[in-house]
Amino acid sequence: MDRCDDRGDEYVEPPPVLKPSQFKKEWEDGIGLILRKEFPSRAALQEVVDKGAFANSFGYVIKKSDKERYVLRYSKESCAWRIRPSNIRNTSIYSIRKYNKMHTCTRISKSSTRMRKRKGTPELVAALLHDTFPGQMETPVPKVIMELVQTKLGVKISYSTALRGKRQAICDLKGSAEDSYKDINCYLYMLKKVNEGIITYLKLDEEDKFQYLFIALGASIEGFQVMRKVIIVDVTHLKNGYGGVLVFALAQDPNRHHYIIAVGILDSENDASWGWFFEKLLTVVPDTPELVFMSDRNSSLIKGICNVYSAAHHGYCIWHLSQNVKGHASNVNRDVVAWRFMELSRVYTMAEFEREYRIFKLRYPSAANYLEDTLLPVLPLSVLLVLPVDYVINL
């Protein structure tokens, strides 16, 4: 006999159907704009809005854009968020005329697909760096900036975008190279107004574009008159979009500190540029037999000194030469080779030098061969003993 299950006769009420609420909690955009606030350009305004949109996880679209109006709204029509800046006539300035900072929609999650697809820009990175490191020229390396942008804005950026944003932030603080070159005549004029005895030269190329620059302060020229007549000449490469080299001629004061005599900017290290620099230096430092130049072994630099300063002496910098020597050593610790070579320059008797050099040659034959091939056509190696200074090989 079958038994009936009493539970089968029980009535089970179905779960209620939930309808989406017609009311949603409003939330601020976090941008912090106020009416009548002005921005120097449309791009500056958009940088501020972009940063707020990334930080607070919302997107926007440009509803209208012409010479006078620039209307931004949320990507969904149902949201009340709006920004309407207007252009001030005959200027590039934009002023906020209408602004509703409250969103009446649901905030997008930072992990959503739409948020992950957003792309950061160098301008956005620069704006974030200005907020995080206000007024600082030194900012983190691009890899750290990538992590910073992802943490604060929830956006992944590439290494190149981080690097360009870093450079843009520096450019915003100190100005662009283009603007600096445009103002160079004004800069030289003001230098002459406030520095008595200063000597400056500026040379343009055939297209009236910057080519060479020479500056020697009057105080530096006067001070060198009572110093030892040894001048070090060297360059450092400029790391900007235009390249070139920064040249300096310096001496050593009685406190063994660097004493800048003249500086210059050249397009590159070549015969023409070095010849021009030394011709201008000749107007500051006269050519005398007691004058000694120290430098590396750049062929154009050597030629420039020989052509302009025929009475002066010229020497190689021991440190630069030691770097060349260690580069020709093999199967040994190259730093040790450079140190042993520097020790040779501090030996002051012929017998001791010959003994130490024989040991050096037996231990480092390839480095010794480089020295002999490089220096013997010009002078004997024993000339290392001539000066009681461990910076110069006298020629």
Domain end marker among 258, 285, 311: 311
Q: Are residues 326 and 228 in the same domain?
A: no
Q: How far is residue 134's CA from residue 148's CA, in Å, rounded to a whole number? A: 15
Question: Are 293 and 329 within one domain?
Answer: no
Pair 342, 306 in one domain: no
Any domain includes 75: yes
Same domain, 292 and 186: yes
372 and 342: one domain?
Answer: yes
Whether 180 and 170 share a structural domain: no
Measured between alpha carbons, how far apart are the two ends of the chain, in Å?
126
284 touches 261 (CB < 8 A): yes
Residue 357 contacts by C-beta under 8 Å, 6 or more apart in sequence? Answer: 344, 368, 381
Task: Among 311, 328, 360, identify where a domain stops.
Answer: 311
User: What amino acid occupies position 315?
Assistant: G
Q: Does residue 211 form part of some domain?
A: yes
pLDDT of residue 43: 80
Q: Is residue 13 included in any domain, yes or no?
A: no
Q: 16 in a domain, yes or no?
A: no
| pLDDT at 261 (0 to 100) | 94
Check residue 392 and give its pLDDT: 38
| CA–CA separation, 152 and 71 (whole Å) | 26
Long-range pairs for 93-97: beta carbons < 8 A, 24 or more residues apart: 93/38, 93/39, 93/40, 93/41, 94/38, 94/39, 94/41, 94/42, 94/45, 94/70, 95/36, 95/37, 95/38, 95/39, 96/33, 96/34, 96/35, 96/36, 96/37, 96/38, 97/35, 97/36
Residue 2, domain member (yes or no): no
The verdict on 231 and 241 lying in the same domain is yes
pLDDT for the residue 379: 47
Q: Are residues 229 and 302 in the same domain?
A: yes
Rounded-to-integer distance, Cα 57 and Cα 37, Å = 23
Dmax (CA) of the chain: 133
Q: Is 8 inside a domain boundary? A: no
From the first residue on, what is the mean pLDDT of each consecutive set of 10 residues in the chain (395 residues)? 53 60 65 84 81 74 79 78 85 86 70 57 85 86 90 83 90 83 89 91 90 93 91 88 89 88 92 94 93 87 91 84 83 86 81 85 86 62 41 36
Q: Of 118, 133, 153, which closes a domain?
A: 118
- In this structure, the answer to whether residues 243 and 159 fall within a common structural domain is no
In a domain, 342, yes or no: yes
For CA atoms 328, 344, 375, 234, the dihedral sign is: positive
**Chain centroid offset of residue 10 CA:** 80
The total of structural domains in the chain comes to 4
**What range defines the domain where residue 351 resides?**
316-395
C-beta separation of 287 from 313 below 8 A: no
In a domain, 387, yes or no: yes
Check whether residue 202 and residue 221 sit in a common domain.
yes
DSSP classification of residue 383? G
The pLDDT of residue 299: 85
Cβ-based neighbours of 209, under 8 Å, separated by 6 or more: none
- The dihedral of CA 66, 69, 74, 76: what is its sign? negative
Tell me: do 294 and 266 sit in the same domain.
yes
Contact at 8 Å (CB) between 204 and 196? no
Do 300 and 219 lie in one domain? The reply is: yes
Residues 6+ apart with CB under 8 A from 91: none
